[in-house]
Structure 1
């Protein structure tokens, strides 16, 4: 919820209230925290650093490199950049 009009309409506000959904205050126009973008960027970087000659090898390489990305990778990135936009 980033104060986008579609998230703050009367219909949405009523639904949230009726369903007892607690909404946190959030600054307008704040950067999205979308960890999958960071993960895709990291995977692309790792795959580009390796060689593949066909689609099967590319698929295997992606799976292998994906498995190497530590589960705390995104959290580490957020901490490193102190909550600001990451460098992907």
Structure 2
């Protein structure tokens, strides 16, 4: 996610384990890089560039083992202009990660659909909720970062 766009969702096949090789080859090299290199200046949040000025782009991840693997860290350093390494992003910091709020919004939209009984129905509902995220929601989540950081610092982490 960025202030103005989202990457496509990558649905992990049932039974697939997420190791660094899968994460690098299927998610970073495909889904992430497609989003990073978008040029179209209009359209949905799944079509727009992640940022108008890519020099402001910083890629960050959470502490999932596949994200923290040395191979993943090296791939990110080699392929992304600006990347926060695992030592630069505070661990266990959901208050500092606006995507956690975005997932909450997606979850609310999925819950509004009522009872979902099939895996395919859940996947399509989640994709639809993701696709329908408005640019203003993304802007507000990113704009909330200075206040989030101020509060975390005020409370000594």
Q: State the TM-score, normalizing by the size of structure 2.
A: 0.29
Question: Which one has a bigger Cα radius of gyration?
Answer: 1
